[in-house]
């Protein structure tokens, strides 16, 4: 087969034109006849008992169509990420600033606000639980009566950790702290719900998992899933923050109660105050090595502040433990992962899912170790790096690991690592320049022992045009674009012939959540299988018509190819004949990622098997008078398997690095007694265009052998992971002082300089 003219090409993302011109319709843009405005009333307290909740006055206000409390929810009153402990509307107690107590739908925003003001709530304010280290102590005040505040305490051990520590030549031992971080997606959470003529509750949802949304909405409405439809309009980013359902649930409840369509969009302040954050974690880590730098053991203990409800805490901390060893061969490892309930913001899913915190620890440890041993950090990493065939401490054997060292070497080559002594380290009296690297691995997919599947439907029409129906939510990451590319490639039609429909549970099969860098693999494989089945139909017709054997036939550029030469028969003609004769041009496939059905005893549970490797090197300039850190250069070398749409891959890297710079230097939600003090993008500082250096990116295309369609694999999460430790190590290189807390604000840099 000749080289593809679709796959591997820079292709504009599906809908890019509409996004750029403003024609694309996001949830806030959806207008419907009779549309009501939905709003939620939140608790003003981090912890309080609800003594009285009276909505009768609110219900009397003209223009108010529905006022709901927990008593008005027909079905289950909770979210359901892993455990159903977070109510949609508080029952008898509020446990953090994001707990809603009532929902209203009214003719307009002013009337909705009036309704919120008319709701009378009497709270008995309780002492909050805000420090996880206090909360986890025996005898501490219980956040949920009768339940331990420690909601997770998992210890995983492999090898002989204590013996390895005892025999080590050198030990590095530090305590790290990470912050609450905000997704800061362009579009806040929102949903628009209506009941259609058939009684189907139809919800436009800014989400990552439309089919799981459907399930949750049905569950809370006490309706069958067949009577609920979730459509994803354009979505302005998610980064894990829309993996769990949010206000689309309330919109659905309100629309059913009001008998009119309801649009409920969180404002920015509301969004920051209420939705999930990246977990703050306190990590104590001991790394032991021989004097040659060979890693002997890692021992870590991590305590996460979960906030009041489970949400994704268990899963995130599980991934933290899976990656705390880094992309290194570590045979003796112990990791204790603890999560504690507090009345602080809830921790949840966020790009990287525990891996950014882990990478900040293990890559800082590596540079501290390199300094202690006086070994080049690059050499130390190359010495210990995993390779194809390395058995990880999790029990997983790396099937394709070349990219670990290749990305290190490529990044070093790009910046000229061997000449780093020639770098001008003090360009001005108050400025110090430094270089720092970080290399990481991150898995793709749900993980072993978990169902990881996606369905897709492809239909070719009589005229050769194609519709691709995938339930994979496209939040801007471009999944439907690359799925369309794969379909176009296999069917021999131009990209313009493939229309990829945005996820709509009434039309598109379940593809699971767009999370865990998984959609490229699972939905990609499903697309290839479906396309191959249509391809079979077309080639059967072609073989029958031309009497030429199948192995000489191919499809490309809208035509049949015979021995790689264009033939007179077009795809359109083949499609027309195929349909007449009943060869299927409508194919559905369901791909199931192949993990071992039972995880071997002693292996880390739920560990991933396909890895993204990457290395980033930062050059920073530290102002030793102000503590200000400027990232001057950022080299990012990432492994993407085979790139389907290079524009999408480079976009993911660029965006991840920008997000990583913010995570490293400026982004931090300041929470005092459960109250976020900076709930705006004026005070929660994300990098602006000028804060981001020209990116020096490179992509390694080392095809993944298993489970990766055309060799491609996910790239969504890895870009954010090494940025913070690379910057941290560059600061260390610049000022000679290590930092152990994120973000590395000017204040903390000054403190380090003072210390």
Of 345 and 464, nearer to a second copy (C-beta) is 464
Element (H, E) at 437: strand 431-444
Query: Residue 347: beta bridge partners?
Result: 277
Of 44 and 544, nearer to a second copy (C-beta) is 544
Please compute, for residue 732, the number of CA atoms within 13 A of its CA located in the half-sphere on the CB side.
24
Q: 201-205 and 281-289 as β-strands: parallel, antiparallel, unpaired?
A: unpaired
| List of residues 6+ apart from 347 with CB closer than 8 A | 180, 276, 277, 278, 279, 280, 304, 305, 306, 307, 311, 312, 313, 316, 339
Of 516 and 702, nearer to a second copy (C-beta) is 516
Of 597 and 601, nearer to a second copy (C-beta) is 597
Query: Residue 25 CB, nearest distance to a second copy (Å)?
Result: 6
Query: Residue 451 CB, nearest distance to a second copy (Å)?
Result: 5
Query: Residue 81 CB, nearest distance to a second copy (Å)?
Result: 15
Residue 177: other Cβ atoms inside 10 A: 13
Please say whether the beta carbons of 312 and 276 come within 8 A. Answer: yes
Query: Residue 506 CB, nearest distance to a second copy (Å)?
Result: 6
Binding positions for a second copy, rule: CB under 8 A: 18, 23, 25, 33, 197, 214-215, 218-219, 224-227, 451-453, 455, 457, 459, 461-467, 497-499, 501, 506-507, 509-510, 579-582, 584, 586-588, 590, 592
Query: Residue 457 CB, nearest distance to a second copy (Å)?
Result: 7
Dihedral-angle region of residue 712 (phi above 0 means left; psi in -120 to 50 means alpha; beta otherwise)? beta
Of 216 and 645, nearer to a second copy (C-beta) is 216
Of 582 and 755, nearer to a second copy (C-beta) is 582
Query: Residue 714 CB, nearest distance to a second copy (Å)?
Result: 18
User: Between helices 355-373 and 313-323, what is the axis angle to 10°?
Assistant: 30
Of 466 and 482, nearer to a second copy (C-beta) is 466
Of 18 and 162, nearer to a second copy (C-beta) is 18
Please say whether the beta carbons of 456 and 589 come within 8 A. Answer: yes
Of 584 and 646, nearer to a second copy (C-beta) is 584
Tokens for 206, please give them. 């800014």
Of 187 and 363, nearer to a second copy (C-beta) is 187
3-state secondary structure 291-345: CCCCEEEEEEEEEEEEECCCCCHHHHHHHHHHHCCCCECCCEEEEEEEEEECCCC
What would the DSSP string read from start to end of 142-186? PSSTTS-SEEEEEEEEES-HHHHHHH-SEEEEEEEE---B----S
Of 219 and 433, nearer to a second copy (C-beta) is 219
Separation CA 663–CA 667 (nearest Å): 5
Query: Residue 477 CB, nearest distance to a second copy (Å)?
Result: 19
Of 73 and 218, nearer to a second copy (C-beta) is 218
What would the DSSP string read from start to end of 573-622? HHHHHHHHTT---EEEEEEE----SSPPTTSPTT---EEEEEEEEEEEEE
Query: Residue 462 CB, nearest distance to a second copy (Å)?
Result: 5
Separation CA 327–CA 176 (nearest Å): 19
Separation CA 527–CA 540 (nearest Å): 20
Query: Residue 211 CB, nearest distance to a second copy (Å)?
Result: 9
Query: Residue 351 CB, nearest distance to a second copy (Å)?
Result: 25
Query: Residue 80 CB, nearest distance to a second copy (Å)?
Result: 11
The residue among 663, 649, 650, 651 whose CA lies nearest residue 618 is 663
Coil, helix or strand at residue 59: helix
Please compute, for residue 435, the number of CA atoms within 13 A of its CA located in the half-sphere on the CB side.
20
Of 508 and 619, nearer to a second copy (C-beta) is 508
* CA angle centred on 242, ends 344 and 72, rounded to 5°: 75
Of 135 and 230, nearer to a second copy (C-beta) is 230
Sign of CA dihedral 221, 223, 224, 229: negative
**Terminal-residue alpha carbon distance, the chain:** 64
Separation CA 642–CA 465 (nearest Å): 26
User: Between helices 723-735 and 355-373, what is the axis angle to 10°?
Assistant: 30
Please say whether the beta carbons of 302 and 281 come within 8 A. Answer: yes
Query: Residue 84 CB, nearest distance to a second copy (Å)?
Result: 14
Query: Residue 200 CB, nearest distance to a second copy (Å)?
Result: 8
Query: Residue 588 CB, nearest distance to a second copy (Å)?
Result: 4
Tokens for 69, please give them. 């409390």
Which residue is listed with tokens 């691709």? 468
Query: Residue 18 CB, nearest distance to a second copy (Å)?
Result: 8
The residue among 325, 317, 333 whose CA lies nearest residue 398 is 325
Separation CA 609–CA 54 (nearest Å): 53
Query: Residue 510 CB, nearest distance to a second copy (Å)?
Result: 7
Of 225 and 654, nearer to a second copy (C-beta) is 225
Dihedral-angle region of residue 184 (phi above 0 means left; psi in -120 to 50 means alpha; beta otherwise)? left
Query: Residue 460 CB, nearest distance to a second copy (Å)?
Result: 9
Separation CA 651–CA 168 (nearest Å): 43
Of 145 and 197, nearer to a second copy (C-beta) is 197
Separation CA 448–CA 468 (nearest Å): 29
Q: 201-205 and 466-470 as β-strands: parallel, antiparallel, unpaired?
A: unpaired
Of 372 and 586, nearer to a second copy (C-beta) is 586
Please compute, for residue 746, the number of CA atoms within 13 A of its CA located in the half-sphere on the CB side.
8
């Amino acid at each position: 087969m000749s080289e593809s003219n679709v796959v591997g090409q820079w292709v504009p993302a599906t809908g890019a034109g509409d996004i750029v011109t403003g024609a694309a319709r996001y949830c806030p843009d959806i207008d419907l006849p009779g549309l009501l405005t939905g709003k939620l009333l939140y608790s003003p307290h981090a912890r309080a008992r609800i003594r009285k909740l009276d909505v009768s006055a609110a219900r009397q206000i003209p223009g108010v169509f529905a006022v709901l409390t927990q008593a008005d929810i027909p079905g289950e009153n909770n979210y359901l990420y892993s455990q159903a402990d977070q109510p949609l509307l508080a029952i008898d107690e509020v446990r953090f600033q994001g707990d809603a107590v009532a929902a209203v739908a009214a003719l307009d925003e002013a009337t909705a606000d009036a309704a919120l003001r008319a709701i009378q709530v009497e709270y008995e304010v309780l002492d909050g639980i805000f420090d996880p280290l206090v909360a986890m102590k025996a005898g501490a005040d219980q956040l949920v009566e009768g339940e331990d505040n420690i909601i997770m305490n998992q210890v995983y051990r492999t090898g002989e950790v204590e013996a390895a520590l005892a025999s080590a030549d050198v030990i590095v031992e530090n305590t790290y702290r990470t912050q609450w971080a905000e997704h800061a997606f362009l579009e806040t959470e929102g949903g628009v719900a209506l009941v259609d003529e058939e009684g189907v509750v139809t919800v436009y949802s800014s989400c990552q998992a439309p089919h799981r949304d459907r399930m949750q909405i049905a569950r809370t409405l006490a309706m069958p899933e067949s009577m609920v439809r979730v459509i994803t309009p354009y979505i302005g980013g998610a980064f894990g923050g829309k993996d769990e359902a949010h206000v689309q649930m309330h919109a659905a409840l309100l629309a059913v109660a009001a008998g009119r369509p309801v649009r409920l969009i969180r404002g920015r302040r509301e969004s920051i105050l209420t939705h999930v954050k990246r977990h703050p974690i306190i990590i104590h880590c001991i790394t032991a090595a021989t004097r040659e730098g060979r890693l002997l053991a890692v021992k870590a203990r991590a305590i996460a502040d979960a906030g009041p409800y489970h949400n994704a805490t268990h899963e995130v901390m599980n991934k933290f433990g899976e990656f705390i060893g880094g992309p290194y061969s570590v045979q003796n490892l112990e990791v204790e992962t603890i999560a504690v309930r507090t009345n602080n913001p809830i921790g949840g899913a966020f790009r990287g899912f525990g891996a950014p915190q882990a990478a900040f620890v293990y890559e800082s440890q590596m540079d501290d170790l390199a300094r202690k041993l006086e070994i080049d950090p690059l050499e130390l990493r190359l010495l210990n790096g995993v390779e194809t065939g390395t058995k990880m401490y999790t029990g997983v054997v790396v099937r394709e690991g070349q990219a670990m060292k290749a990305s290190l070497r490529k990044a070093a080559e790009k910046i000229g690592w061997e000449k780093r002594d020639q770098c001008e380290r003090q360009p001005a009296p108050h400025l110090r320049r430094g270089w720092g690297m970080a290399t990481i691995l991150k898995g793709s997919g749900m993980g072993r022992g978990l169902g990881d599947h996606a369905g897709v439907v492809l239909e070719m029409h009589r005229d050769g045009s194609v519709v691709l129906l995938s339930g994979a939510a496209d939040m801007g990451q471009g999944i439907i674009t690359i799925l369309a590319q794969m379909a176009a490639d296999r069917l021999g039609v131009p990209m313009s012939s493939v229309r990829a429909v945005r996820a709509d549970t009434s039309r598109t099969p379940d593809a699971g959540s767009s999370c865990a860098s998984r959609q490229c693999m699972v939905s990609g494989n499903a697309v290839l299988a479906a396309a191959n089945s249509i391809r079979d139909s077309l080639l059967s017709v072609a073989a029958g018509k031309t009497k030429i054997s199948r192995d000489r036939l191919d499809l490309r550029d809208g035509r049949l190819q015979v021995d790689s030469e264009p033939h007179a028969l077009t795809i359109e003609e083949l499609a027309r004949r195929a349909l007449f004769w009943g060869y299927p041009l409508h194919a559905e496939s369901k791909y199931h990622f192949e993990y071992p059905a039972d995880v071997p005893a002693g292996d880390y549970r739920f560990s991933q098997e396909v890895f993204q490797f990457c290395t980033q090197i930062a050059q920073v300039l530290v102002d030793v008078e102000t503590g200000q850190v400027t990232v001057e250069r950022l080299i990012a070398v990432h492994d993407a398997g085979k790139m389907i749409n290079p524009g999408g891959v480079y976009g993911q890297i660029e965006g991840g690095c920008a997000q990583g710079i913010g995570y490293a230097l400026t982004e931090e939600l300041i929470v005092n007694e459960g109250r976020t003090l900076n709930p705006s993008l004026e005070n929660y500082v994300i990098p602006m265009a000028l804060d981001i250096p020209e990116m020096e990116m490179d992509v390694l295309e080392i095809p993944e052998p298993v489970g990766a369609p055309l060799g491609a694999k996910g790239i969504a999460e890895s870009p954010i992971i090494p940025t913070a430790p690379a910057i941290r190590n560059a600061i260390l290189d610049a000022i000679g002082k290590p930092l152990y807390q994120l973000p590395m604000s000017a204040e903390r840099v000054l403190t380090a300089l003072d210390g």
